[in-house]
């Protein structure tokens, strides 16, 4: 099933349902006279006998009934959201996430100030470090304060919702999700390059609304994009594109290698703290009064309480465990690269990173499930526990197999093949006599390339037209930005024998010929120096384009250089490739209207 196609109306209802459910759960954290009944002896979540106790730091404490709010949130909602991410991908989660829904309230009410994160800002460059730190901080706060203290958990969740609404009030698009949300790094770990059942954005028809792309339903009932370009290579538009665009960045390595240790250390701490490896299965939701335990012994090992206060023991454990897997990840990566160099057909560095990221995510998911979730399933009948456990393992293995086979090269080939197929269909050339009874849709990407090159009536102008239309379509769909187009279309360019200089000339022509489509963003879109007016606004008034330094003015000798097979990689600088657009008032007003929408 393609979840991107589930109607926005249905998803909107589901979002309301989940958001209200979450608010009810938060309310129950402050006042809940009912659910403690279910934790009494012999009840669904209660112990099997009235005199059962749980062991904590060498002593046995009675299992007194407790309201279920914290157990439902940490023991069911959070694990379920992680399983949803791995199985259905972010395209489902991002459309139903209550926190994302709350962050959009100011926009829906028309209060949003519509600021944007600038490409050169600190936040743009470092948001993943910030979000990873917030995740680390959140896990510390959970272990120290809010794991079973229901009042503090309620306050913590309300503060989180308040933060999401504040960011949604100040900034446009899904800025909360992309730049601040501490769960976003977890989403990238399990949903990039794809969830088990995620749809493919890069092979969809032109102008599709893909994955969890921002959208709305208009009066006629059809859906339209409301994308304002708050993030380049946006995960909501195409998660796999987002993944490959940043795979070699150090922040990705830190997150993906350290997260495994974070997950393991988090659950191990329950044992290190209580001295009881069954603590998670027994009394973890009963151990309240966290504030009073902050300076009590934080470790109880081999029957001995160590004189390290819990307030230090928790960050120490999480820092050590995440630090160990981070260093381990870097070492394995180095060794893999060395080994790879000795082979005759080495993998690309991106592919090595990809394989290690995939293995670490697989290990993190199973650590999380078998160390953290499985021990808390005791209330389910035996068969339910087995089904869930084997189901989770199977889902993660299928995910591993699916994701392991992906590569950037394969992704680009599929994407280019899809674009190429559509452009070939538009050419006024009789293709049927070259297809041996097959249709264009049946041809594989390699066959499409071969067809494009070998067609006897495929002239030089056809070749350039095909390439130009392909790029234009990708730009329109925000799959690529102008500054990255040279690299992004490298394989197609080579297959069609298009030089770098020809590429930049075509880009220039696209910008000049499509002033209704491309205009400089109002100073916001990260690396997308040229943004799209259409299709949100197909009737926008003509923008008044001034190319600051036209591509044609790139010095002739440089173009000659670029054509030389031995030429170094010369890429025009941003000032060379950025058209400066002075917009007419009507265009500016129209764009503002788009943003409001």
What residues make contact with ligand SF4 under the rule CB under 6 A?
173-174, 213-214, 227-231, 234, 236-237
For ligand SF4, the closer CB: 526 or 590: 526
Task: Select 147 or 481, whichever has its Cβ closest to ligand SF4.
Answer: 481
Minimum distance from residue 187 beta carbon to ligand SF4 (Å): 12
Per the CB < 8 A criterion, the answer to whether 132 and 255 are in contact is yes
DSSP string, 26-93: HHHHH--SSGGGGGSTTSTTS-SSTT-EEEETTEEEE-----SHHHHIIIIIHHHHHHHHHHH-HHHH
- Contact between 553 and 561 under an 8 Å Cβ cutoff? The reply is no
* Cα–Cα distance for residue pair 478/543, rounded to 1 Å: 19
Taking the least distance from each CB to ligand SF4, the nearer of 172 and 502 is: 172
The overall longest dimension of the chain from CA atoms, in Å, is 88
CB of 17 to ligand SF4, least distance (A): 22
If the CB atoms of residues 97 and 451 are measured against ligand SF4, the closer one turns out to be 97
According to DSSP, the residues that pair with 53 across neighbouring strands are 62
User: 424 or 525: whose CB is closer to ligand SF4?
Assistant: 525
Least separation, in Å, of the C-beta of 228 and ligand SF4? 5
**In contact, 408 and 348? CB cutoff 8 Å:** yes
Q: Six-digit token pair at 53? A: 């106790």
Q: How far is the CB of 230 from ligand SF4 (least distance, A)?
A: 3
Q: Tell the smallest beta-carbon distance from residue 591 to ligand SF4 (Å).
A: 14
If the CB atoms of residues 97 and 213 are measured against ligand SF4, the closer one turns out to be 213
Q: Which is nearer to ligand SF4, 210 or 514 (CB)?
A: 210
Cβ proximity to ligand SF4, 88 vs 171, nearer residue: 171
* Exposure string for 114-144, b = 16+ CB within 10 A, e = fewer: bebbebeeeebeebbebbbebbbeebbbbbb
Which backbone phi and psi does 61 adopt, to 5 degrees? -110, 140
Nearest Cα neighbor of 25 from 208, 121, 161 is 161
Spatial neighbors of 115 by CB under 8 A, at least 6 apart, are 170, 171, 172
Q: How far is the CB of 384 from ligand SF4 (least distance, A)?
A: 37
- Which has the closest alpha carbon to 578: 482, 469, 478? 482
Taking the complex as a whole, the smallest distance from the CB of residue 135 to ligand SF4 amounts, in Å, to: 20
Shortest CB 390 distance to ligand SF4, Å? 36
Dihedral-angle region of residue 515 (phi above 0 means left; psi in -120 to 50 means alpha; beta otherwise): alpha
Judged by CB, which is closer to ligand SF4: 385, or 594?
A: 594
The nearer residue to ligand SF4, 236 or 240, going by C-beta atoms, is: 236
Nearest approach, Cβ of 408 to ligand SF4 (angstroms)? 21
Q: Quickly list DSSP for 544-572.
A: EEEESS-GGGS-HHHHHHHHSTT------
Residue with tokens 């730009």: 475
In whole angstroms, how close is the CB of 211 to ligand SF4 at the nearest point? 9
């Amino acid at each position: 099933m393609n979840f991107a196609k589930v109607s926005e109306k249905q998803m909107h209802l589901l979002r309301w349902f989940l958001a209200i459910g979450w608010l009810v759960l938060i309310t129950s954290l402050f006042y809940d006279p009912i659910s403690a009944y279910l934790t009494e002896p012999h009840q669904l979540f209660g112990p099997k006998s009235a005199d059962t106790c749980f062991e904590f730091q060498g002593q046995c404490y009675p299992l007194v009934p407790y309201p279920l709010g914290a157990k439902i949130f940490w023991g069911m909602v959070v694990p379920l959201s992680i399983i949803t991410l791995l199985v259905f991908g972010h395209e489902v989660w991002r459309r139903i996430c209550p926190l994302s829904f709350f962050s959009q309230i100011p926009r829906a009410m028309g209060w949003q100030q519509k600021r944007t994160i600038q490409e050169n800002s600190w936040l743009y460059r470092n948001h993943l470090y910030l979000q990873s730190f917030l995740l680390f901080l959140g896990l510390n706060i959970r272990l120290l304060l809010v794991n079973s203290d229901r009042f503090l958990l309620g306050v913590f969740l309300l503060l989180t919702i308040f933060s999401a609404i504040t960011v949604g009030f100040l900034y446009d698009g899904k800025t909360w999700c992309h730049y601040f949300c501490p769960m976003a790094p977890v989403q990238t770990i399990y949903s990039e390059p794809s969830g088990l059942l995620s749809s493919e954005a890069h092979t969809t028809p032109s102008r599709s609304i893909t994955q969890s792309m921002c959208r709305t339903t208009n009066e006629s009932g059809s859906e339209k994009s409301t994308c304002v370009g708050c993030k380049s290579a946006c995960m909501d538009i195409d998660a796999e594109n987002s993944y490959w665009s940043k795979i070699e960045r150090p922040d990705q390595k830190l997150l993906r290698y350290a997260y495994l240790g974070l997950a393991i250390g988090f659950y191990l701490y329950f044992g290190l703290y209580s001295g009881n490896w069954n603590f998670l299965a027994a009394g973890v939701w009963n151990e309240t009064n966290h504030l009073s335990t902050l300076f009590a012994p934080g470790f109880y090992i081999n029957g001995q309480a160590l004189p390290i206060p819990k307030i230090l023991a928790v960050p120490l454990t999480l820092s050590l465990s995440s630090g160990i897997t981070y260093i381990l990840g870097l070492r394995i990566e180095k060794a893999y690269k060395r080994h790879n160099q000795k082979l005759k057909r080495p993998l690309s560095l991106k592919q090595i990173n990809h394989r290690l990221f995939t293995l670490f995510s697989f290990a993190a998911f199973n650590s999380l499930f078998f160390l953290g979730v499985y021990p808390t399933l005791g209330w389910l009948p035996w068969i339910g526990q087995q089904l869930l456990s084997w189901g989770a393992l199977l889902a993660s293995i299928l995910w591993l197999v699916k994701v392991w086979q992906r590569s950037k090269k394969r992704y680009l080939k599929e994407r280019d093949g899809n674009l190429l197929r559509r452009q070939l269909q538009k050419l006024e050339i009789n293709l049927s006599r070259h297809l041996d009874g097959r249709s264009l849709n049946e041809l594989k990407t390699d066959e499409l390339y071969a067809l494009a090159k070998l067609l006897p009536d495929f002239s030089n102008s056809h070749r350039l037209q095909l390439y130009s239309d392909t790029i234009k379509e990708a730009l329109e769909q925000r799959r690529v930005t102008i500054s990255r187009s040279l690299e992004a279309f490298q394989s197609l360019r080579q297959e069609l024998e298009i030089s770098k200089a020809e590429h930049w000339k075509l880009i220039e022509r696209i910008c000049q010929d499509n002033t209704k489509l491309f205009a400089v963003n109002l100073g916001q879109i990260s690396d997308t120096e040229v943004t799209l007016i259409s299709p949100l606004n197909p009737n926008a008034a003509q923008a008044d384009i001034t190319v600051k330094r036209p591509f044609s003015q790139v010095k002739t000798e440089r173009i000659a250089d670029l054509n030389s097979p031995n030429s170094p990689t010369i890429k025009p600088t941003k000032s060379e490739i950025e058209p400066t657009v002075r917009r007419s008032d009507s265009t500016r007003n129209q764009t503002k209207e788009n943003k409001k929408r």
